[in-house]
Amino acid sequence: MIRREAEYFFAALRFFTRLPVPGWVGHSAAQLNHAARYFPAIGIIIGAIGAATTLAALQLWPPVIAVLAGMAATLLATGAFHEDGLADSIDGCGGGWTREQVLAIMKDSRIGSYGAIGIGMALLTKFEALTALVAVPPAPTFVVMLIAGHSVSRFASTTLIYALDYAREDDSAKSKPLATRLGKGELAVAALFGLAPCLLLPAAQVAIALALVAGVTLFAARYFVRRLGGYTGDCLGATQQLAELAFYLGLLCVGPSQAQHAPLWGAASAFASVGG
């Protein structure tokens, strides 16, 4: 069982990133069918890469350069996999009128004006948000914020796989092996990895951030159902990117003076003790 779960994890790592995996893992559609449960766990790894790069760059350069270095590291680690999904989704939904037109545009490897503008605005907003967050001490808090942003946003995408149907009818889409409904147990595993980092963040900040993520995810799900009848791989990437932005913006809704409040884990413990 442990080896099987390891295969699922490494299958997710190989599918969602460009990071190396052990040779014994192999490659099969069955592995990918169960890999989505570890999508948020991959986010923890990507977030850690981005945070470590940012903190290392801060030793040499100003925060704006350090944040750019961290963003570049995450883009290299994932091959801009989710950013590509966001650009394709914006292109398709912006340029297509019918369901068929939207799906055809999303499948086109070329990027249009809608996608270029959309991804540019998204990356600029992320840069500004992370620059603001990195300026709030202490440094370990920024590390957890970045890791949580990546894990929570990937859990948001995973909920679409659980709740929606796959929109494409052909087998040529690269995300087709992931297009299966998750079981409740698999969704619970994804939730564990996706939400665990939030327990280390200030309760007031993370509550607002998670509320914004939930709102963005619900809006995306309803929009994709209305336009496409379900989701595609590009829709998952778009949801992840928008949810990540929503998480960072939610953290910034609470002023820096409140950033030192007790983490969510501490607040939950205090509430339990009072209840007892």
Q: What are phi and psi for residue 98, nearest 5 degrees?
A: -95, 165
pLDDT at 178: 62
Torsional class of 229: left (φ above 0), alpha (ψ -120 to 50), beta (otherwise): left
Residue with tokens 């605005």: 121
Distance of CA 18 to the CA centre of its chain: 16
Rounded Cα gap, residues 262 and 202, in angstroms: 5
Q: How far is CA 269 from CA 37, 63, 200, 204, 212, in A?
A: 28, 35, 12, 15, 24
- Check whether 268 has a pLDDT greater than 50: no
* Helix (H) or strand (E) segment spanning residue 26: none
* Helix (H) or strand (E) segment spanning residue 39: helix 39-58
Rounded Cα gap, residues 261 and 269, in angstroms: 14
pLDDT in tens, 191-246: 999 999 999 999 999 999 999 999 999 999 999 999 999 999 999 999 999 999 99
Q: Counting every residue, how long is the chain?
A: 276
Predicted TM-score of the model (pTM): 0.90
Burial class for 260, CB neighbours closer than 10 Å (0-12, 13-18, 19+): exposed
- Check whether 257 has a pLDDT greater than 70: no
pLDDT in tens, 8-43: 999 999 999 999 999 888 777 778 778 999 999 999
pLDDT band at 172; cut points 50, 70, 90: low
pLDDT at 255: 55
Closest CA to 90 of 120, 64, 65, 62: 120
Strongest mean pLDDT among 21-25, 122-126, 265-269: 122-126
Q: Name 166's bridge partners.
A: 231
Per-residue DSSP letters for 108-143?
-SS--HHHHHHHHHHHHHHHHHHHHHHTSS-HHHHH
Determine the average pLDDT of the residues in 130-158.
Answer: 94
- Check whether 190 has a pLDDT greater than 90: yes
Task: Report the range of poorest mean pLDDT among 99-103, 170-174, 179-183.
Answer: 170-174
Residue with tokens 């014994």: 24
Whether 243 and 152 have beta carbons less than 8 Å apart is answered as yes
pLDDT at 9: 95
pLDDT band at 271; cut points 50, 70, 90: very low
pLDDT at 273: 46
Q: Name 263's bridge partners.
A: 202
Q: Name 231's bridge partners.
A: 166
